[in-house]
Amino acid sequence: MQQPAVNAAASAPEAAPAAGGSVPAPGALSRAAGKKLEYRMQSLLAWVFILLQALLVLVILFAFVLAPTRVNGSSMEPTLKEGDVLLIDKVSLFFRTPVRGSMVIFSHPVTGDELIKRIVALPGETIEIDRGAVYINGRYLDESMYMPAAGVDFEAFEVPLGCVFVLGDDRAQSLDSRDAGIGSVPIDEIDGRVRFRVSPFSTIALYL
């Protein structure tokens, strides 16, 4: 018998799917790419939100809690030097009374210039400086921790209530409570307390 002729023009059989599953449809690939892009955008927005929150915290911190300032002048040497960058604690004085030995910042009552001095005498105390030595209510005040040199004499003076008596560590050069233009500083006019020195890096310090 005559065998039927094979049609050479017949289409070849379709290739079998690759091992591991069927090929994703173009629409599925598009949806997967879209979800990946959406995930990346959400992650980016989350990081932006976190950074904005951190920035807001820093703004509040430096505006209302720890305000940066730079030392201008040499009246607090050798403790603080001109150009030192400090962080001023503007909150603690609302919750506690001033402490002797603390360095505080306030404005000159006449010029408005920012001054940094050390609290030496508290409200109601009598201060006297004799041959460079400070006496509080007749008792010698040891200042060797922060003032190696002797200061200028000052007659006995009673600090008014609600005020503190401040001095610079460089007593010979400092303009402070001994000057009639400054006098005793009202506690409610103290802007803050020196808490940190952050620059120069080699002299970073915490003041308790």
Of 191, 186, 185, nearest in space to 63 by CA: 191
Q: In whole numbers, what is the pLDDT of the chain averaged over residues?
A: 85
Distance from C-alpha of 1 to C-alpha of 38, rounded to nearest angstrom? 69
Q: Which two tokens stand for residue 35?
A: 């979800």
DSSP 3-state of 178 = coil
Query: Could you list the residue range(s) of the whole structural domain that residue 173 is in?
Result: 71-206
Are 57 and 158 within one domain? no
Are 108 and 190 within one domain? yes
Confidence (pLDDT) at 20: 52
Are 101 and 192 within one domain? yes
Count of domains forming the chain: 2
Over residues 66-81, the mean pLDDT reads 94
Are 61 and 89 within one domain? no
How many helices (H) and strands (E) would you count in the chain? 1, 12
Distance from C-alpha of 111 to C-alpha of 117, rounded to nearest angstrom? 16
Choose the catalytic residue: 117, 174, 177, 184.
Answer: 117
Residue 99 placed within a domain: yes
Residue 6 placed within a domain: no
Beta strands in 108-151 (DSSP E): 114-121, 126-130, 133-136, 139-140
Are 125 and 31 within one domain? no
Are 43 and 75 within one domain? no
41: pLDDT strictly greater than 50: yes
The CATH number that applies at residue 90 is 2.10.109.10
Are 86 and 168 within one domain? yes
CA dihedral 150→151→152→153, nearest 10 degrees, is -80
Are 39 and 130 within one domain? no
Are 37 and 88 within one domain? no
pLDDT in tens, 158-186: 999 999 999 999 988 899 999 999 999 99
Residue 12 placed within a domain: no
Does residue 202 have an active-site annotation? no
Confidence (pLDDT) at 4: 52
Are 160 and 180 within one domain? yes
Are 45 and 140 within one domain? no
Choose the catalytic residue: 75, 102, 177, 184.
Answer: 75
Does residue 75 have an active-site annotation? yes
Distance from C-alpha of 98 to C-alpha of 187, rounded to nearest angstrom? 8
Q: Which residues contact 66 (CB under 8 A, 6 or more apart)?
A: 87, 88, 89, 90, 195, 196
Are 59 and 138 within one domain? no
Q: What percent of the chain has pLDDT over 70?
A: 83
Residue 2 placed within a domain: no
Query: Which of 51, 66, 81 corresponds to the end of one domain?
Result: 66
Distance from C-alpha of 14 to C-alpha of 28, rounded to nearest angstrom? 23
Of 2, 196, 198, 193, nearest in space to 95 by CA: 193
Distance from C-alpha of 25 to C-alpha of 44, rounded to nearest angstrom? 29
Query: Which of 13, 39, 66 corresponds to the end of one domain?
Result: 66
Residue 120 placed within a domain: yes
